[in-house]
Structure 1
Amino acid sequence: MNHDQSSGGPPTIADVARLAGVSRAVASRALSNEPRPVSSEKRERVIAAATSLGYKPNLLAQSLTTKTVNLVAVVVNHIHDLSDLDLFDRLIDQVQTIGKQVILIRIGSVARVEEFLRNGVAYHVDAALVFSDFADAPTVRRMFRSDHVIMLNGLHDEFSPVIIPDEHAGIAEAVADAASKTVRTAGLVTGRASSLVEQARIRSFHEAFSRYGINLLKTVQGDYSYESGHAAAKAVADADCPDAVFCTSDAMAMGILDVCRTDFPGGRPSRFRLYGFDNLSLTDFDAYPISSIGYDKSLYVRYIVESVASPGNFRPGQPPVTVPTRFVPRLTA
């Protein structure tokens, strides 16, 4: 298709519309993520015309018109443990299905948050998904100059949507399973103590131990990583090890299992039982048959993406959206 542009400058949406034989409005909708429908035949003509002309949409102009930039910020402490990989690949894929792209922002400390605010670093995004436990809801709203902040870390307030797993039920099921197998003493390997989510998780374990008459002998702090579980193994699984060791991440449980392979012939416990947390995809394979606590990640991601796509559905003060957890038995228990 040949087209003689009258202006001699870069092709415009009007040039695309003229070549495709449609109105400018139809051409604009065909090349954007607007929900208003365009027939597949017209869309194909518009895309062919845009390709022929070498037309590139003006994203800034689109954002001024639609009040969106089709970007979603995902705010994390870091991405270094296995549960991050399981979750974020799925999350990014589903955010892209609603026509938006993800930018990852790593905040490793409270000081880093303050640096963002002090230096005026801000991104224009349609929504921010906050996994980092170094930033509360008011701070993130200031960071992005936006009210559409979805809190996933326990540091929420009444003005932001909240989506969190209900971990209490899954923890109670896991401890009940241990008690049914005559476990009377336990060790607990935890994550970062400053995390409100982790604090609630630890309280749930303590409550369940008390309910089922299990004596907590040892607590070791890790950081959710495989390395920290590997390092904790000596402390929790020494000659005086408890009947069961509970970890607040599967990655830490994997580290312990690798140090203590001789205690798990064929994956089954001989000295102590081992429980993880997160129900990682790796625990379905023979190398790490770890009993775990998990939730439906597809449902969790669906709730997040629905909140991104429909911000008007949130009303200040509404209760958190919760995703139930469950105990998943495997060989190590």
Structure 2
Amino acid sequence: MIEPRKGTGQPTIADVAELAGVSRAIASRALSSEPRPVSADKRERVLKAAQTLGYKPNLLARSLTTKTVNLVAVVVNHIHDLSDLDLFDLLISEIQSIGKQVIFVRVGSSQGIEEFLRNGIAYHVDAALVFSDFADAATVRKMFRNDSVLMLNGMRDAAAPAIIPDELTGITAAVADAAGKGVRTALLVTGRAASAVEQARVAHYRSELQRNEIALAGELRGDYSYQSGRRLAVSPDWKEVDAVFCTSDAMAMGVLDVHRDGVLQTRPKAFRLYGFDDVTLAEYEAYPISSIGYDKSIYIKEILRFLTHPKEFRSGGTLVRVPTYFVARDSS
């Protein structure tokens, strides 16, 4: 490792090793964020010595030695959806727990991706996690000049591994719940049509509604936001139906605030309302929306497996599916 120049007064790895009574190699292994062999006694001595001296590792030097920078890029459209906030807080915490840090790259639109490439911007990262549905795998590999790219938006290719929720399971349960309660007509409030994940989600709803003999009276397109749900709920295209299925909880919340008196009763009077994402806010009395979710701890565990054991994901574009579930609440 490259040590600071003498005279700076900063403790070095050699100082830590000397105080702990171990070799520099053992001190380095004990302080590494990676699982490296060292006895518990020596690790404890090294950690105590580092704390006593106020030693901070030289991350630049470590990156030159390990060929890693301990940075992970998270590529997103934006960060304002309720489901984004629920997920990313947990994800950042878990990535930091393995000694890496996150940089967010907000692309906003397909033009944002093109601008990124046009300006030749490149970050040196160990891996890229792609949530944005404006970014395909080949483009992200080019963006970061790195093949370690994990697709979380349904836009994978033969070389890109992917992790996606298995949404059919939760959708099947939600539609069956509605059918069991006598629902015979429904509206579908959807998100961005260009999204591969949304396309699959809408197709699942259509097939399950048909299979349960529920007539689809119409599809209204929003953008996953609360504002779009509220706007659609008062639009001339709104129809009287037995149930409304929204492909995001945020849109369902907008719908609920327009039709609150007709939905939040012992038995909904106007229609039954179903959301998607199972955001934390749906657990509280203000927005008790029946919803479809997935176990975020399992989802994040698979992402961490990609970051720590990437070779397990390099067999021809591995696809990992995380199961979804349905939660019935007052709105249905």
Shorter-chain TM-score bucket reads over 0.9
User: 1:222 — aligned with what?
Assistant: 222
Q: Aligned in 2, Cα 1:301/1:191: closer, same or farther, shift over 3 Å?
A: same
- Measured in 2, the distance between the counterparts of 1:278 and 1:45 equals 46
1:163 and 1:321 in contact (8 A); partners too: yes
| Equivalence for 2:94 | 94
C-alpha offsets along residues 188-227 of structure 1, whole Å, 9 cap, x if unaligned? 1111111111011111111112212222112211111111
Counterpart CA distance in 2 for 1:208 and 1:34 is 46
Aligned to 1:163: 163
Give the match's secondary structure for 1:188: strand
| 3-state SS of 1:330 partner | coil
**8 A Cα contact 1:294 1:325, kept in partner:** yes
For residue 330 of structure 2, what is the aligned residue in structure 1?
331
Indicate the residue corresponding to 1:109 in structure 2: 109
1:75 and 1:106 in contact (8 A); partners too? yes
Change (3 A) 1:298 1:267: farther
Determine if contact 1:236/1:242 at 8 Å carries over to the other structure: no
Q: Distance in 2 between matches of 1:91 and 1:28?
A: 27
What is the 5 A alignment of 1:275-286? 275-286=274-285
Aligned to 2:149: 149
- Structure 1 segment 44-55 matched on structure 2, within 5 A: 44-55=44-55
- The amino acid across from 1:309 in the alignment is T
The reply to whether residue 175 of structure 1 matches residue 185 of structure 2 is no
In 1, the alpha carbon distance for the partners of 2:240 and 2:252 equals: 15
Q: Are the counterparts in 1 of residues 264 and 331 from structure 2 also a CA contact under 8 Å?
A: no
For residue 251 of structure 1, report the CA deviation from its aligned partner. 0.9
Q: What amino acid maps onto 2:307 in structure 1?
A: V
The residue matched to 2:186 in structure 1 has which SS?
strand
Identity of aligned residues (%): 65
CA contact (8 A) 1:225 1:252 kept: yes
The residue aligned with 1:66 is: 66
1:249 and 2:248 correspond? yes
5+ residue gaps in structure 2? Answer: none
- Between stretches 24-33 and 228-237, larger displacement belongs to 228-237
Q: Equivalent residue for 1:191?
A: 191
User: How much has 1:87 moved relative to structure 2?
Assistant: 0.9
Report the more deviating stretch, 311-320 or 191-200: 311-320
**Structure 1 pair 71–236 and aligned structure 2 pair: CA distance change class (3 A):** farther
Structure 2 matches for 1:108-147, cutoff 5 A? 108-147=108-147
Contact 2:34–2:98, Cα closer than 8 Å, also in 1:
no
**Corresponding residue SS for 1:305:** helix
Q: Residue in 2 aligned with 1:81?
A: 81
- Deviation per CA, 1:158-184: give whole Å up to 9, x if none: 112110111122112211221222211
CA-based RMSD of the aligned residues comes to 2.1
CA separation of 1:68 and 1:230: change in aligned 2, threshold 3 A? same
State the TM-score, normalized to the length of structure 1. 0.92
1:244-278 deviations in Å (ceiling 9; x for gaps): 11000011111111111111244641111100001
2:233 aligned counterpart, secondary structure: helix
Greater shift, 154-163 or 28-37, is seen at: 28-37
User: C-alpha separation between the residues in 2 aligned to 1:178 and 1:34?
Assistant: 49
- In the other structure, the counterpart of 1:272 is 271
Letter in 1 for 2:76: V
**More displaced 10-residue stretch of structure 1: 261-270 or 23-32:** 261-270
TM-score normalised by the chain length of structure 2: 0.92
CA distance in 2, matches of 1:259, 1:327: 24
* Secondary structure in 1 matching 2:235: helix
Go from structure 1 to structure 2 and tell me whether the alpha carbon gap of 1:129 and 1:6 turns closer, same or farther (over 3 Å shift): closer
Q: Counterparts in 2 of 1:283-322, with a 5 A limit?
A: 283-322=282-321
Instruction: Say if 1:250 and 1:106 are closer, same or farther in 2 by CA, change over 3 A.
Output: same
Query: d(CA) in 1 for partners of 2:172 and 2:6?
Result: 71
Decide whether aligned partners of structure 1 residues 268 and 75 sit closer, same or farther in structure 2, where only a CA change above 3 A counts. farther
The AA in structure 2 aligned to 1:274 is L
Cα distance, 1:298 vs structure 2: 1.1
In the alignment, residue 283 of structure 2 is paired with which amino acid? D
Residue 234 of structure 2: aligned partner: 234
Deviates most, 219-228 or 241-250: 219-228
Contact 2:30 2:36 in 1 (8 A): no
For the Cα contact (< 8 Å) 1:247–1:253, is it kept in 2?
yes
Structure 1 residues 204 and 262: CA distance shift in structure 2, 3 A = same
